[in-house]
Structure 1
Amino acid sequence: MRRVDVITLGCSKNLVDSEFLIRQFEAGGFSVEHDSADPKGEIVIINTCGFIGDAKEESIDTILDFAEAKKDGRINKLYVMGCLSERYLEQLGNEMPEVDKFYGKFDWKGLISDLGSTYRPDLVNERSLTTPAHYAYLKVSEGCNRKCSYCAIPIITGAHTSKPIEELVAEARALAAKGVKELQVIAQDLSYYGVDLYKKQMLAPLVEQLAEIEGIEWVRLHYAYPAGFPMDVMDVIANNSKVCAYMDIALQHISDNMLNKMRRHVSSEDTIKLIKEMREKVPGIHLRTTMITGHPGETEEDFKELMDFVASAKFERLGVFPYSHEEDTFAWKNYEDDIPQEVKQERANQIMEIQQEISRELNEGKIGKTLKVIIDRKEKDYYVGRSEFDSPEVDPEVLISSNKELHIGHFYNVKITDAEDYDLYAFED
């Protein structure tokens, strides 16, 4: 069997694309490795990210590394797909002749054909998981209809396209049959799910059906948009123990000046009201958000308002991106990138210093409490798990001591014994 090494860069949505691709290759008789530390296959396929500057740089560097490996004879063929090549297909083809062929984000079926296999439409909802067997990402839509000033996603992915509920439920059932217990529901914009297909927001009905699937014990929601947020989802979270008390909702800023410049179609007042209503409907919910520092036109006053907001809102999970001036976005065409990179980064650092204090305070408040966790792996003296408030890869973990053997992918109730800025320590008796 020919071996293919698939390298995935960027977000979990890219990972899902790679998993569908891997399943197709395996069905065609290929041996496939994912993110191998030492790729040795005849063929390497890089699934790229093209979202912001750092991600593009990582993708370019990875392509160049494998182009060198091809020159040295360590691999025979090199193919590139995904967001970066969707966005810069012709330019990359001209500048990197070492790559055998570039594909966009949506034409990877052609890659299967070009490598002598046949795309299997009967496997359209089947994937080979690259995550631990007990959790998987479920991508419910592709694309985005929002026109935020800074964001290249609509340029790359096109308009929002929801996947029908029945297909998603079938895909989730197949995952549960393989042993998946936890679904990470993902999209570029969960808030808009269903509008294109059903003429109304359908995230809440979708989540209800996913939570009914036998074997699924946790459903967690990622990447909602604040403007027009479907509040009926909060009722589902409040009333269904299988739906994690967790919401990932990117706010990006709080200053009305910046929200207007960013074209977010939401005000500071709207944002504060939304957070208040979420916490009232689901007491104890953990909110994850992201902020952007250094967007064109961000004044010291805007940034001070953002710092004060982060300090008062006390988000359980928060990340910050220094603004990246992306080609062909509204900001690229209409704003000067007028804030130095070092100022953008310094502002991001200041926000994260505030968040570090908040995270430690919230973690210390959990000492003595009992949390239900799922075990992801064992590292040295600890089992490493997550609570319903923790998404894999991006959130804190629970480091667990136990007098007995714990099993990967199983749930346990553990008592929190200590806390650091981001991680918790626990004991399972």
Structure 2
Amino acid sequence: MSKRVTTQVSAGEIAQQYKYIEILRDYNQKRVSDAGKPVKYNIETFGCQMNENDSERLSGMLSEMGYSESAKRAESDLIIFNTCCVRENAEQKVYGHLGALKKLKENNPELVIAICGCMMQQPEVVEHIKKVYRHVDIVFGTHNLYKFPELLNTAVESRQTVIDVWDSTGSIAENMPITRKDNLKAWVTVMYGCNNFCSYCIVPYVRGRERSRSMEDIKNEVVRLAMEGCKEITLLGQNVNSYGKDLEGGYTFAGLLRELNTVDGIERIRFMTSHPKDLSDELIYAMRDCEKVCEHLHLPVQAGSTRILDEMNRRYTKEQYLELVEKIKTHIPGIALSTDIIVGFPGETEEDFSETLDIVAKARFDMAYTFLYSKRTGTPAAKNPDQVSEEVKKERFDRLLALQNSISREINDELLGKEAEVLVEGLSKSSKTTYTGRTRENKIVNFKGSPELTGKLVKIKIDTIQTWSLLGKLI
């Protein structure tokens, strides 16, 4: 079987989208002139950082079309929901918000409502929206985001519902506009999709197979970010360790890190998410050797029981995971580890759960994102008849949280009196004099500062440990 090679959307197709952007810009300029007020858009993003980055791309297109961003739905001329389907509660939130938009549409028939993202890759969801939420104007998925200008233009011209969801794509669209939410830190997507098919996860079905961007395009984006004053980048992918496997030329994620480490102006490099089965020695050495790559690794374990890991199709054992953690800590002393853990996977026994508590105690994660198992239609785990009750799941969840919180506190307590390098992000949301930033290990630090420190690397002496953050003084 020959290797599947990722291709790029043609320059002609991208140029076509810019023509639609121009048409809509002219249309909006007339609207502004006639109404004497700006046309506004509102985007609500559900889910992961990949969705956040996709929303930045939608914002970039809309800005080029002459829209201004608004935080208020009621004053917007265009509302977009960028959806997530990893957990059921995210889907239910979207439906609730969609229902609330019906009144806005009745009061303003010119309002355009669009819904996109992972939920739309599920045919039953699209059918439900068509039947129940007829006030929605545009429905599109994860694979044709770059075609949004064309879809919007069609909806505006026809005043008909536009539905355009692709089953899959092997192409990547480059050179579309983007508006960053943050001038200091930026998401940079390096690959899309996933080939792992963990038995609980819907992502491969809605995001498609793995597709890597070219190293040249990624580096060019990072160089532009550096020139615009960005100091920190976070490289995104469903499994960044698989980067380059679909490209000709033997590219690897470790090689990408080493290349981006040479970009002047970028101070810090982070990445997520890493699959333990693919975390190579080469990557560990690159993290160790590249001075801009931060000492923080998000390494989802999902469960501590080898039996459950096998049921999850994770393709590593508890012992292999702990050996990997030991290797990482040996080569990168002081590294902070975070993880994801699912509680109550189908068939999980009390003995299985005790293995999860054991791996948490041994790995000593700085932070764990813990979730109750959520059944996702279309995944193998959803068909497992041995579902764990909500009561048992919640009781186990509380025990896991208590253990992890105590470990997190113990690790943070060791920082008392120590000095830390902090990238200053700006004012804390809760104060007009307290500034906030993160250490290389991704710890939040608050301190008294001044505006000119924003964007700078400063030394802070930690003098107070709090549950989720640290307090300190400028040195």
**Which TM class, normalised by the smaller chain length?**
over 0.9
Match of 1:68 in 2: 103
In 1, the alpha carbon distance for the partners of 2:84 and 2:183 equals 25
Contact 2:274–2:300 (CA<8 Å) still a contact in 1? yes
> Take 1:52 and 1:341, find their aligned partners in 2: how far apart are those partners?
15
Is 1:421 the counterpart of 2:467? The answer is: yes
Which residue does the alignment assign to 1:182?
Answer: 232
| Aligned equivalents of 2:332, 2:209: Cα separation in 1 | 32
Q: Give the superposition deviation at 1:243.
A: 0.6
The worse-fitting range, judged by mean Cα deviation, of 342-351 and 254-263 is 342-351
In structure 1, the residue matched to 2:286 is 236
- Change beyond 3 A, Cα 1:344–1:359: same
Task: Measure the CA separation in 2 of the matches of 1:266 and 1:224.
Answer: 13
For the residues of structure 1 that align with 2:342 and 2:251, how far apart are their CA atoms?
A: 27
CA–CA separation in structure 1 for the residues paired with 2:325 and 2:195: 23
Matched residue, 2:191: 141
Deviation string 1:226-274 (CA, Å, 9 cap, x unpaired) is 1121221111121122110111111101211101111111111111111
Distance 1:122 1:273, change over 3 A: closer
Q: Which residue of 1 aligns with 2:212?
A: 162
Q: Does 1:258 align with 2:305?
A: no
TM superposition shift of 1:406:
4.7
Distance 2:80 2:308 in 1: 39
For each residue in 1:262-310, what CA deviation from the matched residue of structure 2 results, as whole angstroms up to 9, or x when unmatched? 1111111111111110101101111111111100010000001111221
Counterpart-to-counterpart distance in 1, 2:347 and 2:110: 47
For 1:95 and 1:122, how far apart are their aligned partners in 2? Answer: 32
Q: Write the distance in 1 (CA, Å) between the matches of 2:452 and 2:72.
A: 28
The CA distance in 2 between the partners of 1:240 and 1:77, in whole Å, is 47
Change (3 A) 1:309 1:427: same
Say which SS state the counterpart of residue 319 (structure 1) adopts: strand
User: 1:122, 1:322 → 2: CA distance?
Assistant: 35
Quick check: 1:44–1:75 contact (8 Å CA) kept in 2? Answer: no
Cα deviation for residue 114 of structure 1 reads 3.3
Separation of aligned partners in 1, 2:90 and 2:410: 32
The equivalent residue for 1:393 is: none
Summarize deviations over 1:333-364 as a string: whole Å, max 9, x none: 3x125211222122122111111111111111
Match status 1:322 vs 2:377: no
Shift of 1:420: 1.5
Segment drifting more, 307-316 vs 284-293: 307-316
Structure 1: stretches of 5+ with no match in the other structure: 391-395
Aligned partner of 2:94 in structure 1 is: 59
Distance 1:374 1:340, change over 3 A: same
CA distance, structure 1, for counterparts of residue 133 and residue 147 of structure 2: 20
2:438 aligned with 1:386:
yes
Q: Using the alignment, how far apart are the partners of 2:326 and 2:149 within structure 1?
A: 49
Work out whether residues 41 and 75 of structure 1, in 8 Å CA contact, stay in contact via their aligned partners in 2: no
Against the structure 1 CA distance between its residues 3 and 241, is the aligned structure 2 distance closer, same or farther, given a 3 Å change threshold? same
Of the three residues 43, 50, 60, the one matched with 1:23 is 60
Q: What is aligned with 1:101?
A: 138
Q: Give the whole-Å Cα distance in 2 for the aligned partners of 1:325 and 1:123.
A: 35
Q: TM-score, normalised by structure 2?
A: 0.83
Report what 1:44 is aligned to.
79
Moved more, 231-240 or 363-372: 231-240
- State the AA in 2 paired with 1:128: T
> Which residue in 1 is equivalent to 2:409?
360
In structure 1, what residue type is equivalent to 2:41? V
Is the 1:67–1:78 Cα contact (8 Å) retained in structure 2? Answer: no
Alignment partner of 1:219 is 2:219? no
Report deviation, 1:38: 4.8
Structure 2 alignment gaps of length 5 or more: 1-27, 29-38, 157-171
What aligned pairs does 1:269-418 form with structure 2 within 5 A after superposition? 269-333=319-383, 335-336=384-385, 338-379=387-428, 380=431, 381-390=433-442, 396-402=443-449, 406-418=452-464
Specify the SS of the correspondent of 1:263. Answer: coil
Letter in 2 for 1:409: G
Cα displacement string for residues 344-388 of structure 1 (whole angstroms, at most 9, x for unaligned residues):
122122111111111111111001111110112213241111111
User: In structure 2, do the counterparts of structure 1 residues 122 and 84 end up closer, same or farther at CA, with 3 Å as the change threshold?
Assistant: closer
Q: Percent identity?
A: 28
Cα pair distance change 1:376/1:254, threshold 3 Å: same
Mapped contact 2:304–2:358 kept (Cα < 8 A): no
Kindly name which structure, 1 or 2, has the bigger radius of gyration based on alpha carbons: 2
Match of 1:8 in 2: 45
Q: Choose which of 204, 207, 211 in structure 1 pairs with 2:254.
A: 204
Aligned length: 417
Secondary structure at 1:151's aligned position in 2?
A: coil
Deviation larger for 236-245 or 140-149: 236-245
- Alignment match of 1:124 (pick from 175, 178, 182): 175
- Structure 1-normalised TM-score? 0.92
Q: Summarize deviations over 1:160-206 as a string: whole Å, max 9, x none.
A: 11111111111111111211110011111111111111475600110
For the residues of structure 1 that align with 2:191 and 2:265, how far apart are their CA atoms?
A: 23
Q: Deviations over 1:12-45 (max 9, x none)?
A: 1011111112212222333234xx1455121111
- The residue aligned with 2:112 is 77
